[in-house]
Amino acid sequence: MFTDFVDELSKMLAGDQLLTAKSELIPYESDGLTAFKALPRAVVLPEQQSEVVDIVQLCHRYSVPFVARGSGTSLSGGSLPNTDGIVIGLNRLNRILSLDAEQRIAVVESGVINKNVSDAAHPYGLYYAPDPSSQAVCTIGGNVAFNSGGAHCLKYGMTSNHVMGIKAVLPDGNLVELGGSSLENVGPDLVGLFVGSEGLFGIALEITLRLLPIPETYRTVLAAYPSMELAGDAVAAVVASGLLPGAMEIMDNLTVRAVEESVKAGYPIDAGAVLIVELEGEASAVEEEFRDLQEIISKSGAYNVRSARDETERNLIWKGRKGAFGALGKISPAYIVQDGVVPRNQLGAALAEIDSLSQEYGVRVANVFHAGDGNLHPNVLFDNREDGMLEKAEALASEIVKMCVRRGGAITGEHGVGMEKRHLMTDMFSDQDINQMLKLTNEFDPKGIANSGKMFPADRVRGI
């Protein structure tokens, strides 16, 4: 049957759009979480939205599982292939279809790179706010699937706060239009339902995005602390003051040293923790807030404080933060990135428990996280060449996520559940909750072919 399916695919696509040789499939065997690997039976590379629709309709007719994939930057195994199915690569759907500067709206295809939206909007004094660390390579379609955030989500929110409309193909091949170009929609929030659904509801083909005016000015502060606890207390003090920075990020000493070795961002390598706080907006308001921030930081125990004097210094500070995950490759052959969330008032205790768990397991953990909203990114470092170390690292990563739930948080802030955390869904949700999720998913995808094997525990079967 699969042979017949491939024969039909080959008739509707050009030769370089259908990959079936093992050497061609290997680049698609995993995403950013390389602990999970699987070869699909084929990869298809559509160049038009209509081709995606035709492919999904064919998958539905033959009951062939499919996984949509952008740049493969997912850190939860969210775009891991199904060994019985195909991967639909969307990178060739990379057109910005329209940009209305007056209405502050951009309509883009799902394969458009996140940063390219802001680059296109820049001449009009606009930009796209969500800024994942991988924004130079990740796609808008992937951001929609996982409701991506980034350093500036504290002030501006996640992807869901910036998506106004979606044209999508459902798993049965039907086209739907969700939302639109207005902020004033009536009826159920179907866009909010689709964003963050991890590909279980179908494939976004065209996304209408809200753009924002580029802030008039920025004030970026880098503060070094003897300990993570003091840096965490500083975050609490900033929030308690009523200030709403665009971003607040913390990195521990292990991360700082890795960043300096790789990026040379000028971080003090003796710091127990580094805190980045960025204010942005109208110049007069930012300058007033900056004076308040300086006073708070001066009383917070920081021993080394500097402010970016110009855009070059600001960009270097952020280059270090956004390059943190990659920099860790300098000090560890492999690592697992988690993204559990805790309430801000639990940050200090959560970090202390992570340190305790690290010592208990004998595995190093490098911490870098969105401090303003409690979204932790503990990086569990290990040597995958040693027997049993992957399993040990995975066990530690799971314990960290469970700790976040115990402290009133969540198992994921922006990376998604994917393959990695599906066994932890029952730590956060009741059987009734999961059954309701399955019921909803089955309404969209009765055959269970869209990104099957993800999100739900292995013993909970999708499909009717």
Please give the mean pLDDT across all residues of the chain.
94
> Which pair of structure tokens corresponds to residue 345?
């008032």
* Same domain as 299, residue 348: no
Q: State how far Cα 233 lies from the chain centre.
A: 26
Residue 322 counted as domain residue: yes
Residue 328: which H helix or E strand, with range? none
* Same domain as 365, residue 287: no
pLDDT on residue 91: 97
> Which pair of structure tokens corresponds to residue 184?
């004033």
pLDDT on residue 326: 87
Q: How does pLDDT run across 294-348, given as a tens digit for each residue?
A: 999 999 999 999 999 999 999 999 999 999 988 998 899 999 999 999 998 898 8
Give the DSSP per-residue string, 75-97: SSSTTPPPTTSEEEE-TT---EE
Q: How does pLDDT run across 178-235, given as a tens digit for each residue?
A: 999 887 777 889 999 999 999 999 999 999 999 999 999 999 999 999 999 899 889 9
Phi and psi based region of residue 222 (left: phi greater than 0; alpha: psi -120 to 50; beta: remaining):
beta
* Same domain as 191, residue 132: yes
Q: Measuring CA to CA, which residue among 412, 408, 419, 413 is closest to residue 454?
A: 419
Query: Can you tell me the distance from the alpha carbon of 334 to that of 170, in angstroms, rounded to the nearest whole number?
Result: 36
* Same domain as 165, residue 113: yes
CATH number for the domain harbouring residue 182:
3.30.465.10
Residue 153 counted as domain residue: yes
Domain boundary among 326, 350, 366: 326
**pLDDT tops 60 at residue 464:** no
Residue 336 counted as domain residue: yes
CATH number for the domain harbouring residue 374:
3.30.70.2740
Residue 64 counted as domain residue: yes
pLDDT on residue 348: 84
Domain boundary among 185, 213, 241: 213
Residue 312 counted as domain residue: yes
Q: How does pLDDT run across 41-76, given as a tens digit for each residue?
A: 999 999 999 999 999 999 999 999 999 999 999 999
Residue 172 structural domain = 96-213
* Same domain as 171, residue 192: yes
Q: How does pLDDT run across 263-302, given as a tens digit for each residue?
A: 899 999 999 999 999 999 999 999 999 999 999 999 999 9
pLDDT on residue 123: 98
CATH number for the domain harbouring residue 61:
3.30.43.10
Query: Can you tell me the distance from the alpha carbon of 200 to that of 78, in angstroms, rounded to the nearest whole number?
Result: 10
CB–CB of 433/190 below 8 Å?
A: no
Type of residue found at 310 = D
Query: Can you tell me the distance from the alpha carbon of 205 to that of 48, in angstroms, rounded to the nearest whole number?
Result: 9
CB–CB of 357/338 below 8 Å?
A: no
CATH number for the domain harbouring residue 229:
3.30.70.3450
Greatest distance between any 2 Cα atoms in the chain = 70
Residue 293 counted as domain residue: yes
Number of structural domains the chain divides into: 4
pLDDT on residue 463: 60
Pairing of strands 217-225, 304-307: antiparallel
* Same domain as 241, residue 202: no
Residue 371 counted as domain residue: yes
* Same domain as 411, residue 346: yes
Of the pLDDT bands very low, low, confident and very high (cuts 50, 70, 90), residue 461 is low
How many Cα atoms within 13 Å fall on the side-chain side of residue 124?
A: 19
Phi and psi based region of residue 388 (left: phi greater than 0; alpha: psi -120 to 50; beta: remaining):
left
Domain boundary among 55, 89, 123: 89
pLDDT on residue 265: 92
pLDDT on residue 312: 95
Residue 437 counted as domain residue: no
* Same domain as 412, residue 343: yes
CB–CB of 78/198 below 8 Å?
A: yes
* Same domain as 101, residue 7: no
Percent of the chain residues topping a pLDDT of 90? 87
